[in-house]
Amino acid sequence: MSDTINHGMTSHWKSQRGFLFAAVGGAVGLGNIWRFPFEAGQNGGSAFVLLYFCFVVIIGFPLLSAETMLGRLSRQGVVTGFGHIAKLGGFSQNWKYIGWFIAASAFILCSYYSVIAGTTAAYALEGLQGNFAGITPDQSVALYAQYGASPLKLSFWHGLFMIGCAVVLSKQLNDGIEKLTSIAMPLFFILLFCLIIMAAVIGDFAAGAAFLFKPDFSKITLELAAAAMGHAFFSIGVALGIMFTFGAYLPDEISITKSAFIVCITDTLVAVTAGLCIFPVVFAFDMAPDAGPALVFNTMTVAFGQLEYGGLVAMAFFSLLAIAGFTTLLALMEPIVSYLNKFYDISRKKSAMIVSSSVFVAGLLAVFSTNILASVKIFDMNFMDLFDWWINRIGLPVGGILIAVFVGWVVKKELVIEAFGANEMAVNLVYFLIRYVCPIATLIILVTPFLQ
């Protein structure tokens, strides 16, 4: 394979541990701690969780494996990797547009993801300052609305995250993302462990666990399935170019399927653990589990405000969210930075500044969607809601289908098997899921809600 594949990426992960920390850091983000609880809360709890588990196994894991494999096969980033493989295989160059589509999805996601991540950092500071002490539900809602109504505050924290991303991404892979995630992810898991102990002590753990794990099959619908599938894609980072680009840096001796499995398992465990941190507290304080996107901002602040050391707990909780958001933003932006660096001969520093500045400017639409542009609606959604809907219901599922079709029906099976380089029986199973199950299941669930 080394005779035919252009090893465009000159850097490699220093260790498998460094790669896994970065991959998990890219997958484990606000989708696990901010989004998973409110999605589960709005969609019946256990029914959503059950479908989410199923989609991670039968769609998420195979597609994550496929995306990583394509990266290592091409040794290029997602923007050019599809076109490079198509050229080597004698396929139509139109396949290169998959990479552009995925990169565009990642860019759109970054634009509003950074705004949410910035708000979590702001709330961590609020907790440190003791501003949640004795806060009532009405005051909590008012505080969240105050942030939403202030373009200056949202822009400041959004900009701060973009500056941080520019600094880290300006460095080479080993000195930037790999080094930072090797520190940030262990800290993340320590904070998560402390928070679940807190939830077990002060919360109604039995009620929270029952809400998440006691199946209610009557609530399963195609609309619910679409929501669960969209979240599975969002949570583990399928069709966002993260694992494609990380795979391009991956040495041949590291197992792709094993790495993808570890990422999926870790990501799912973090999501469930986050639910077990939040819902016991929600039920203990008689709050609504279906509070929506504002669940962690409105509900958890009230709970923290009742604790003797609630400010410190709140700081730890929102710092957890901020760390998760920051590592994911780095992973989302790396493919575009590496593309500018390699193919336009722009230095890493300038590439990082260009991408971070562009994301900041695009993110202003999300910033202004709750204040200056609040009256502007498209399909009855503001810009942030529209971006989020498009990513979860269109961008990621369509990207997943395109990856599955490309790997399962365009690239020769022999090349796919060789590129995976793992146990033949396991690879054949993954290949079957990629070729048949992933595109068909995703297409059915993608299209059905629009036909109802």
Global pTM value:
0.92
If one compares 216 and 334, the residue with the highest pLDDT of the two is 334
Q: Is the pLDDT of residue 31 over 50?
A: yes
Tell me which of 1.10.287, 1.10.3470, 1.10.4160, 3.40.50 is the CATH number of domain 16-451: 1.10.4160
pLDDT digits (tens, 9 = 90+) for 386-404: 999 999 889 999 999 999 9
pLDDT given at position 10: 58
Q: What is the mean pLDDT of residues 31-40?
A: 89
pLDDT digits (tens, 9 = 90+) for 137-163: 899 999 999 999 999 999 999 999 999
pLDDT given at position 8: 57
Q: What is the mean pLDDT of residues 124-136?
A: 95
Percent of the chain scored above 70 by pLDDT? 97
Q: What is the mean pLDDT of residues 344-352?
A: 95
What is the 3-class SS of the chain, one letter each residue? CCCCCCCCCCCCCCCHHHHHHHHHHHHCCHHHHHHHHHHHHHCCCHHHHHHHHHHHHHHHHHHHHHHHHHHHHHCCCHHHHHHHHHHHHCCCHHHHHHHHHHHHHHHHHHHHHHHHHHHHHHHHHHHHCCCCCCCCHHHHHHHHHHHHCCHHHHHHHHHHHHHHHHHHHCCCCHHHHHHHHHHHHHHHHHHHHHHHHHHHHHCCHHHHHHHHHCCCHHHCCHHHHHHHHHHHHHHHCCCCCHHHHHHHCCCCCCCHHHHHHHHHHHHHHHHHHHHHHHHHHHHHCCCCCCCHHHHHHHHHHHHHHCCCCHHHHHHHHHHHHHHHHHHHHHHHHHHHHHHHHHHCCCCHHHHHHHHHHHHHHHHHHHHHCCCCCCCCCECCECHHHHHHHHHHHHHHHHHHHHHHHHHHHHCCHHHHHHHHCCCHHHHHHHHHHHHHHHHHHHHHHHHHHHHC
The domain locations on the chain are 16-451
